[in-house]
Structure 1
């Protein structure tokens, strides 16, 4: 029996006009020349040029002058080298210098794909049968640099989606450096990396810090470390590794006057400088408290790191790396509640099969059990999850992906036992969704992919990417799907 899938007439396409103002640094020598050139301009020339810039860009960015000031302050070390007091420069000249070290970056220029969907924390003002939802997307721009962006809107009782107006004044979040680290856990994370071979041990280097410490306190500790422990190349690399790990934990916050669609979670730490990939958001409930988590892959150009992002309101976010023996691969997806008192996570630790892991600590994952391996021809290369499991009366519904001949990515479905999700109840023996003739064309042909779905009324709402270029969504009757999954094969 083929499950009926209803494709919906909506497409989320890349939009070249969605740009953010990024810091542009040209190297110390060239940058010094630029600064001196601006300092040599007359006051009138400075004001004229700054006014030209503001006319062209003030309607494209919220508080562009604040962005210029922020980028100006990032030049503090260079001003010190040039023996110039950075605070002595007048406001107009500061802004103009900041403008020379700013560039626009089109975050969606290349692709807008791999969506997930969650119920919004704001459900006010709806009529019966409606649900306000938040979709996250992987937005990719020049150089294939990926970030997380959002859209919001309302699903009506029939599963039709009406998107909220999309704002144009995009904003990156402010990074908050008041993050508090717990020494015991931080040392465990360092020992897990096991890349240092000589020199002082982590516990010795961090001995001057308390049981809890801030990023600033850690910076001071590492700055003073060479005086206490030496400064050989190996030791410098070790100190850098400590700060690398610290930078992978951070907090960000968006201004209250930004709309959800204007918030861009752009790579911040060195662990993700080449992109933030495939966020799988889930609405997590524990003891009547709701929290949103997202698992994503941080990419630094060489290696990947699974990370966890958490928020209650989509204004303030905390980011942590995931650790443990199985936190090594892409595609980790958290269950929406604890099972038998433990967090549960789907993962693909070997790149081919689906596994399940349980942990008392949401950041540490050490053991896993296989729950699905390729069985059918359309998934012989690999299977993986397409987002967090969905709880139904009949079991945990997992949307999966399978890869077959010609590297075609298709979507499937799996049903796991509610209290013992290591147990498979059933799976589809044919794809739930494959790219049609229109969808198969794109940046990566013949691919449909999703990072998360929800249940609304009697339907599965399944957003999916189209050949790694754009996105859309479909609906599937839930009872029909579950009946097929429970059917004896």
Structure 2
């Protein structure tokens, strides 16, 4: 087992109107000697925007903006901008988030050159109704009942507006691999992966072909008891000598409802669609009062990480109400992962 230190809460909700319900699920990146943290800020009525603060060290908030840095502007995000992740590829920052219009929750991309001014690109995951998804996937004989179960809302919801499969946890790898962008996304209950030379290529024809060969793109499925219900992306993958370190979330059902854990796997450096190793137990799970009780009970939801020397700091949403940090030795984690190589 890996020794984990729960460093505690570093960010709580305030009386400010944009974050008076909760703060959670931050994106984190180091740049110019500072740690920049972009977090989901929730106002009354469950309307989300992106708040911003700067850390002077991994556990200390140096400054915090009194207003959100990214707000809803378009119809597709009118109910919220949720759960950001961030990477830097070449000279451009890629911030991904879930845009929510009150019905549809879809992965969306914004870019920046300076972490201050953000250009909203567009929704880059597919807008696909369940019936269309089912038709395309059935063409190769793969439509497990689990996909039906976890997308019943999209199947049964009757409304005049288009209803799409929820496609969340959009997370880029922090560099191009063999000249291609790689990113993760999640249609429950599995994690899927995409590779593409240009973001502009993510059009209708691309996704139609993608779903016609869907089983080739499902690269991580629930495997162990602690992730038996479903899994989803967590932090942007971290490049190590052994492979891409992937921290994700796993969910299992209990008599008290779902429990969200932080989990970890290792992916091949040159072919990240190949899983090398996976811990057969949670990296960490809800144990503290502030992880067990909150807006949603029993949640540790990792979304950002940094490495300083041998210490890996993982930033996560605790009970969907506050931002907390856990730390551990990255070298010990990698050695433990190699014991469970596939």
Provide the TM-score with structure 2 as the length reference: 0.80
**Structure 1 residue 465 corresponds to structure 2 residue 333:** no
Q: Does 1:150 align with 2:149?
A: no
Q: Is the 8 A contact 2:86 2:95 kept in 1?
A: yes
Shift of the alpha carbon at 1:277?
Answer: 0.9
- Structure 1 range deviating more: 316-325 or 7-16: 316-325
- The match for 1:373 is 221
- Offset of 1:304 from its aligned partner? 2.4
For residue 62 of structure 2, what is the aligned residue in structure 1?
Answer: 164
Give 1:56-455 correspondences, 5 Å limit. Answer: 106-120=17-31, 122-123=32-33, 132-155=34-57, 160-166=58-64, 168=66, 170=67, 263-285=68-90, 290-323=91-124, 325=126, 329-348=167-186, 350-363=187-200, 364=202, 366=207, 367=210, 369-406=217-254, 407-438=258-289, 439-455=291-307
What's the secondary structure of 2:60's corresponding residue? strand
**Change beyond 3 A, Cα 1:275–1:483:** same
**Cα deviation code 1:267-323 (max 9, x no counterpart):** 1111111001111111223xxxx2111111111112223210111112211112234
Shift of 1:370: 1.7
CA contact (8 A) 1:113 1:470 kept: yes
**C-alpha distance in 2 between matches for 1:437 and 1:452:** 20
SS for the counterpart of 1:306 is strand
Go from structure 1 to structure 2 and tell me whether the alpha carbon gap of 1:449 and 1:488 turns closer, same or farther (over 3 Å shift): closer
List alignment gaps of at least 5 residues for structure 1. Answer: 19-105, 124-131, 171-262
* Bigger RCO of structures 1 and 2 (CA < 8 A, at least 6 apart): 2
Match of 2:5 in 1: 6
Mapped partners of 2:82, 2:65: distance in 1: 23
Tell me the SS of whatever aligns to 2:118.
Answer: strand
Q: Secondary structure of the residue that 2:285 maps to in structure 1?
A: coil
Q: Deviations over 1:177-236 (max 9, x none)?
A: xxxxxxxxxxxxxxxxxxxxxxxxxxxxxxxxxxxxxxxxxxxxxxxxxxxxxxxxxxxx
Contact 1:152 1:164 in 2 (8 A): yes
| Matches of 1:277 and 1:107, distance apart in 2 | 13
Task: Give SS of 1:115's match.
Answer: strand
For 2:127 and 2:85, how far apart are their aligned partners in 1? 17
TM-score normalised by the chain length of structure 1: 0.57
Are the equivalent residues in 2 in contact too, given 1:284–1:336 (CA < 8 A)? yes
Conserved? CA contact 2:169–2:232, under 8 Å: yes
Give the whole-Å Cα distance in 2 for the aligned partners of 1:324 and 1:476.
33
CA distance in 1, matches of 2:108, 2:250: 24
Matched residue SS, 1:340: coil
SS of 1:486's equivalent? helix
Measure the CA separation in 2 of the matches of 1:472 and 1:334. Answer: 23
How many residue pairs were aligned?
A: 289
Q: Is the 8 A contact 2:52 2:64 kept in 1?
A: no
Indicate how the Cα distance of structure 1 residues 278 and 109 shifts in structure 2: closer, same or farther if over 3 A, else same. same
Per the alignment, in what secondary structure is the counterpart of residue 453 of structure 1?
strand
Give distance in 1, aligned partners of 2:127 and 2:331.
Answer: 34
| Partner Cα separation in structure 2 for residue 148 and residue 284 of structure 1 | 21
- Structure 2 gap segments, 5+ residues each: 129-164, 211-215
Segments ≥4 residues shifted beyond 2 Å: 165-168, 322-328, 365-368
State which structure, 1 or 2, has the greater radius of gyration over its C-alpha atoms.
1
Q: Is the Cα–Cα contact under 8 Å of residues 330 and 347 in structure 1 kept in the other structure?
A: yes
SS at match of 2:217: strand
Q: 3-state DSSP class of the match of 1:8?
A: strand
Decide whether the 8 Å contact of 1:295 with 1:309 is kept in 2: yes
Q: CA RMSD in A?
A: 1.8
Contact 1:119 1:283 in 2 (8 A): no
Greater strand proportion: 2
